[in-house]
Amino acid sequence: MRWDHLLAKLAQASGLEELVPDETGSCSLLFDGEHELHLTWDEAEGTVFFYGRVGDGQARLGEEGWRALLAASCLGAETGGASFALYGKSLILWKRHDAFADYLDLEKALNNFLPQLIHWKEELAEPASFADKAEAGPRPGPSFSLADLV
């Protein structure tokens, strides 16, 4: 489905008059007055990127804190398939999506990404506290065996 049609349906569902991307194909939505989510359309690739700021990219998380973030985003284990990145001075959570078949696919993707964005903003709101938790040791992650994949 075309990006402009998806944005029109998203605007309608959100009660907005319209949702118009800028010259780069990007637009932003603000949820609950505090959670900004950016959507960027890459026409050449036919993909959509979701991203939002979750923390300060210059925060003093310590080696264990940064290690915990890398472990959490490894194969999307604790991030719903999203990854962390540094963008300027911000730590962002981002996820790439191939073109959506219809509006319901876009809505489902947004409903899966937004809770992750909110969770990680809360986790990283106090960098020292997050660093302390990370130094306490590894958190148990999901476990699976090769038998689960077959």
Domain boundaries, the chain: 3-137
Closest residue by Cα to residue 54 from 125, 148, 105, 129? 125
Percent above pLDDT 90 for the chain: 42
pLDDT exceeds cutoff 80 at 146: no
The per-residue pLDDT for range 55-98, each reduced to its tens digit, is 999 888 888 888 889 988 988 889 999 999 999 999 999 999 98
Predicted pLDDT of residue 67: 87
0.75 surpassed by pTM: yes
Percent above pLDDT 70 for the chain: 89
The per-residue pLDDT for range 8-39, each reduced to its tens digit, is 999 898 888 888 888 888 899 998 899 999 99
Q: Which one is the CATH code of 3-137: 3.20.20.150, 3.30.1460.10, 1.20.1260.10, 3.40.50.300?
A: 3.30.1460.10
